[in-house]
């Protein structure tokens, strides 16, 4: 369970960016989580809600977007989305959906990316 | 007046860890240190295996001993007269590149050519955190059950070397070693799988040879 440290890193990243951009409030945060990370988005969301109390993030909307797993097959050259169907969720990922070989490279799906924030700031032009 | 602004951040925490891991590897390369990340379940024999390897390998060994709490493992390694840094993660279930970076600062790297980094006993969380090691060795044992590989496939996909330990008690715990080996090869056809028993010494020569061959 490393959602807590990741949640803390996300909060730190967002607050740092908000400060640099002189935000008075943070309205929205978008985070991308790869399906292949060992992070459970629901647990992450719960911990974020705890950590943002008393910060600029307190009333912001936190959006978590899941990034599907993409692979590149070293046997047939297939590039694209991995097969994540079925209960053996992870096992099917390592099988190329095109040729059935197992020599695949995971190219996407391991992200924990703070994508962007929507902030409110003083309009100096107004 | 206030205005609303969208700010692009694009800060991937995983990428930040990977960058730090590459930095760690550069530091080790500059000092001629080959690092083995030893991952595996709790009680699979990681510490005992490293202790045995220290005694059998003709190298200047150093150890980073990761644990959630306690310096117990670090103490075991110290008794083999090698430089050791004990890393307590406190609440975390894995080591990360940042923790390892600090441990590297505390080790006499000029006197080490083979560094074992014993990760926290866990088959899930360490998967996400590259440490900058040159070799990822996963150690599991039959006592975790012969379905442990299929339940934790990702750690095996990233592994360079897999050790299935405690063969001597496979019958007693009703585990099929063959199934465990097959499951690893299903997930990662390129990985070398060694079955071992640190009690009887089986497989030790193969593990030693595998590490030596990676170091060349």
Q: What parts of chain A have a pLDDT lower than 70?
A: 1, 85-91, 126
Contact B5 A106 (CB under 8 A): no
Angstroms from A92 CA to nearest CA on chain B: 9
Tokens of B16: 């930040």
Q: What is the pLDDT along chain B (216 residues), one digit of tens a residue?
A: 789 999 999 999 989 899 999 999 999 999 999 999 999 999 999 999 999 999 999 999 999 998 777 778 888 999 999 999 998 877 778 889 999 999 999 999 999 999 999 998 888 888 889 999 999 999 999 999 999 998 888 899 889 999 999 999 999 999 999 999 999 998 888 899 999 999 999 999 999 999 999 998
Angstroms from A57 CA to nearest CA on chain B: 14
The pTM of the whole model exceeds 0.90 = no
Query: Which residue does chain B place closest to A14, by CA atoms?
Result: B9
Residue range A70-106, pLDDT digits in tens: 999 999 999 999 887 655 556 677 788 899 888 888 8
Regarding an ipTM greater than 0.95, the answer is no
CA torsion sign, B64 to B65 to B70 to B73? negative
pLDDT of B105: 97
Eight-class DSSP state of A69: P
pLDDT of A1: 60
Q: Cβ of A110 under 8 Å from any chain B Cβ?
A: yes
pLDDT of B104: 97
Bridge partners of residue A99, in order along the sequence:
none
Residue whose structure tokens are 């760690």: B24
Nearest by CB to B189, from A38, A102, A114: name it. Answer: A102
Nearest by CB to B5, from A6, A21, A34: name it. Answer: A21
3-state secondary structure B73-139: HHHHHHCCCCCEEEEECCCCCCCCHHHHHHHHHCCCHHHCCEEEEECCCECCHHHHCCCCCCEEEEE
pLDDT of A85: 67
pLDDT of B173: 97
CB-based burial label for B97 (10 Å; 0-12, 13-18, 19+): buried
Q: B16-19: long-range contacts at Cβ-Cβ below 8 A with a sequence spacing of 24 or more? A: B17/B96, B17/B97, B17/B98, B17/B128, B17/B129, B17/B130, B18/B97, B18/B130
pLDDT of A28: 97
Q: What CA–CA distance (Å, rounded) separates A102 from A82?
A: 12
Contact in structure between B151 and B124 (CB atoms under 8 Å): no
CA distances B93 to B14, B86, B102, Å, are 16, 15, 18
Residues from chain B contacting residue A123 (CB–CB below 8 Å): 1-3
Interface of A with B in 8-47 (CB under 8 A): 9-10, 13-14, 17-18, 21, 23-24, 27, 34, 36-39
């Amino acid at each position: 369970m490393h959602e807590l440290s990741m949640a803390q890193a996300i909060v730190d990243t967002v607050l740092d960016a908000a400060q640099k951009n002189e935000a008075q409030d943070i309205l929205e945060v978008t985070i991308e989580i790869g399906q292949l990370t060992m992070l459970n988005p629901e647990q992450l969301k719960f911990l974020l809600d705890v950590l943002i109390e008393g910060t600029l993030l307190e009333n912001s909307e936190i959006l978590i977007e899941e990034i599907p797993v993409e692979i590149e097959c070293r046997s047939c050259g297939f590039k694209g989305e991995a097969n994540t169907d079925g209960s053996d969720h992870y096992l099917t990922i390592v099988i190329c959906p095109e040729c059935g070989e197992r020599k695949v490279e995971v190219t996407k799906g391991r992200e924990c990316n703070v994508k962007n924030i929507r902030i409110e700031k003083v309009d100096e032009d107004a | 007046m206030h205005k609303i602004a969208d700010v692009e951040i694009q800060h991937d925490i995983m990428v930040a860890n990977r960058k730090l891991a590459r930095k760690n590897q550069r530091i080790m390369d500059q000092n001629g240190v080959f690092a083995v990340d030893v991952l595996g379940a709790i009680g699979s024999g990681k510490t005992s295996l490293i202790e045995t390897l220290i005694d059998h390998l003709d190298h200047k060994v150093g150890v980073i001993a990761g644990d959630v709490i306690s310096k117990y493992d670090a103490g075991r390694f110290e008794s083999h007269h090698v430089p050791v840094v004990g890393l307590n993660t406190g609440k975390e279930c894995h080591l990360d590149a940042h923790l390892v970076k600090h441990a590297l600062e505390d080790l006499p790297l000029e006197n080490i050519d083979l560094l074992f980094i014993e990760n926290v006993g866990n088959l899930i969380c360490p998967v996400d955190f590259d440490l900058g090691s040159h070799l990822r060795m996963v150690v599991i044992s039959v006592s975790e059950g012969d379905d442990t590989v299929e339940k934790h496939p990702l750690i095996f996909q990233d592994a360079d070397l897999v050790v299935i330990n405690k063969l001597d008690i496979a019958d007693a715990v009703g585990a099929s070693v063959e199934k465990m080996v097959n499951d690893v090869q299903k997930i990662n056809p390129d990985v070398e799988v060694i079955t071992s028993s640190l009690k009887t010494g089986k497989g030790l020569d193969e593990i030693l040879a595998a590490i030596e061959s990676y170091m060349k």
